[in-house]
Homo-oligomer: A and B are copies of this chain.
Amino acid sequence: MDKAGGDQGGAEVKAGGQTLLSRLSASSVRPGWTKVSCPCCVSERVEPLVLVKLGEKVGPETKRWLIKLIGAPQTDGGAGLLAHPGEDASGDLIIVSAPRCTLLRATEELGLCKLYRSGDMEAFSYQDRNNFKDSDNMEEFLTLAERQFIVKYELDGLRAQRDLRIPGLLDIYTLQRRDNIWQKLQSAGVTLDTFPLHNTNKLKDLSEAWYSGNQLAQPLDSVNKYFGSPVAFYFSFLGFYTWSLLPPAILGVCITYFSGEVQKEVAESVSGSQVIGSEDDSAPAISGHMLQAVFSMLWSTIFMELWKRRSASLSYRWGTLHLTERFAEPRPGFHGNLGVNPVTGRVEPLFPDWQRELRMALVSLPVVGLFLGLVVLGMMGFYWAEALVQQLNEDWDNMLTQILLIVPSVLHILFTNMLATVYKTVAQSLTEYENHREESAFQNHLTAKVLVFTFINNFAVLFHIAFYKQDVPLLRKRLASLLIFTQIINQVTEVVIPFLVDRFISAPHRTQREDDPQQDKFRNQSSLPPFPGLFAEYIELLVQFGYLSLFSCVFPLTAVLLLLNNLTEIRSDAYKICKLFRKPFFPPVANMGVWQVAFEVLSFVSVVSNCWLLLLSPRLQQMGQENGMSSSNLLLSAVLVEHVLIIVKVIISIVIPDEPDWIRKKREHIEFSSMQALRQQKLQTEES
């Protein structure tokens, strides 16, 4: 694009740019926006969807060029969107919206399902758009999250159609053919941030329906509409999980009450001291703990199977059951030699699978293994150092050794945190290096890496106590303190601190009045911290679930504590995402991805750990001795029980289908129609 072209584009924009900025509200009229390229998309009202924040040093010619690029039709290599230059051509904001045609085409490309005139959800087809409900009203047809994601999707997908110098930038940022423009702009410092805008009215409605009142059910459909399906899946999983905790919680209360252990356990967990010496004497013959353990092992499988069914229904309702990411363009970071994709027949970068697998096997796996090894090493070092200072303290009991006592813990915490930080960067680079074609595959592999590390990091100590030290009382003490204090700390760091920071540090700079110009409101949003993603939320649930399923038999009240925690967690998480952060982009997804697998794996590992813990329990050992069973035979029967439970779990998970019957039928119907259509089409190609 030469200078003349850039100026010309800028001139177009300037004409509108001088209108009042207050018109930029959701009811703003056309002035100020770039022109749409097709007549059907002309509308009175343009909704500001996404805000692009430019670098301070970006010159007006670059901004004009960028606006023109965003507004240019896709056939000319543009994004086919609508751009508004904000205050004027020299301001540091660009507000982006999307015309109808671009939205509809992207809807087809993403494979979203929408309500067809037959009343079913069907994969949207641009050519057949008139048969879809509300396809003339974008604000009804697509959810806010979808519209905003599509804008991001189009911006991310911008590629230089030929070698191109960006006006106002140094020559080193010259674009080569097929370079990803948006990535280049980011690395050149032209765009600092791209984020979706909150819709204040909708947000208010949502928060009222979600966490302000005493409602039992969450407004999941509205959450999906406003934040997108990943957030909605997280919250529906959180809700489903919380209610699923009721049966084990009730059982836990009953067992604790009837076995008369309630006072002791509470006392123990609060005081943190070991009051288990008397346990062996007063205990009844058949342990409630065993009942609890077997119940919770089977419960976890049934829970996960039912969740999968619910997840499939939700995915159908939200139109994400037939996402076609693997047929769409590869994600921006993907690189490879240009070639013809054998599946879609399009020319795009290709990267052989075996090479990716090789990289995973030879690079990622050893590196991840190394870090996991470091975690274990760190733990061993901690135990060694602790034993050492204990010894020192016993030998020379003085002030210095007293202080030394806490050194190992401090060092261990420092080491662990440092390791976690380094690991996150490493995991990111490794996953980049694996060069996944689809964004979802990238995210799943990244999540899986961090997840395994975080999990091991969290559970290493507990596993050490349970399997190596074989010290059930200590495990119980640790578990209780983790359950109670970690949850409190989590809630505080996750919600209270951001809330306080927001209220007393950020908010004073962000006083907002009703008559503020719209643009300032937008600018205010950019001062909020970006949403850190759902990883932290999910890992918290996974760790909880780990406490519950892996070690529940040593502390039957786990489910009760988790139930209480999660009831507040739903509200605090909802508050957090609504109020404390910028609105995040979320792509449409069909399920929880790798998290589902993680929960399932955990549910199987729990059998091993529970059987082991039951075996360790002094009561069982005593019972065995009384009945004249050798410790070998006791172990043998524990192994037998474990195998039977695992087989039962496998059978349960096979017997309960992963999707409800009605969804299976709809899916098969689509397969059948596709097959018929393919036959038909071949014939027509032939005839024409």
Contacts and interface: CB of A to CB of B under 8 A. Distances in A.
Contact of A127 (B128, B665, B679): B679
Contact of A680 (B353, B643, B670, B681): B681
A101 B533 CA distance: 60
Given A632-B632, A665-B342, A672-B327, A131 B686 contact: yes
A122 B685 CA distance: 15
Interface in A648-688: 661, 665-666, 668-683, 686
A273 interface: no
A675 B131 contact: no
12 contacts: A108-B679, A123-B679, A127-B683, A343-B669, A632-B632, A635-B639, A671-B674, A674-B674, A677-B677, A677-B680, A677-B681, A678-B678
Contacts of A354: 661
Contacts of A343: 665, 668-669, 672
A410 to B, nearest CB: 34
Contacts of A661: 353-354
A131 to B, nearest CB: 6
A359 interface: no
A682 B673 CA distance: 10
Contacts of A675: 111, 123, 324, 327, 674
A112 to B, nearest CB: 13
Interface in A325-346: 326-327, 342-344
Contact of A682 (B131, B326, B344): B131
A355 B333 CA distance: 51
Nearest to A679: B125
A125 B674 contact: no
A653 to B, nearest CB: 14
Contacts of A635: 632, 635-636, 639
A536 to B, nearest CB: 28
A608 B643 contact: yes
A123 B681 CA distance: 13
Interface residues of A, number: 45
A128 B327 CA distance: 26
Contact of A125 (B639, B668, B671, B682): B682
Contact of A677 (B669, B674, B686): B674
A417 to B, nearest CB: 30
A409 interface: no
A22 interface: no
A679 B678 CA distance: 10
Contacts of A287: none
A674 B678 contact: yes
Q: How many copies does the complex hold?
A: 2
Contacts of A639: 635, 639
Nearest to A127: B683
A568 interface: no
Given A131-B686, A343-B665, 12 more contacts: A123-B675, A127-B679, A128-B682, A131-B682, A327-B675, A608-B643, A632-B632, A674-B674, A674-B675, A674-B677, A678-B678, A680-B681
A631 B342 CA distance: 59
A32 to B, nearest CB: 36
Contacts of A681: 673, 676-677, 680-681
Interface in A266-310: none
Interface in A116-154: 122-123, 125, 127-128, 130-131
B128 A679 contact: yes
A669 B343 CA distance: 4
A111 B686 CA distance: 20
A669 B668 CA distance: 18
A643 B604 CA distance: 12
A671 B674 CA distance: 8
A468 to B, nearest CB: 12
A464 B125 CA distance: 63
Nearest to A638: B639
Going nearest first, the 7 A-B pairs with the smallest beta carbon separation are: A674-B674, A125-B679, A677-B681, A677-B677, A677-B678, A343-B668, A674-B678
A463 to B, nearest CB: 14
Contacts of A125: 679, 682-683
B678 A670 contact: yes
B682 A678 contact: no
A37 to B, nearest CB: 23
Contacts of A326: 668
A524 to B, nearest CB: 43
A130 B685 CA distance: 13
A601 to B, nearest CB: 10
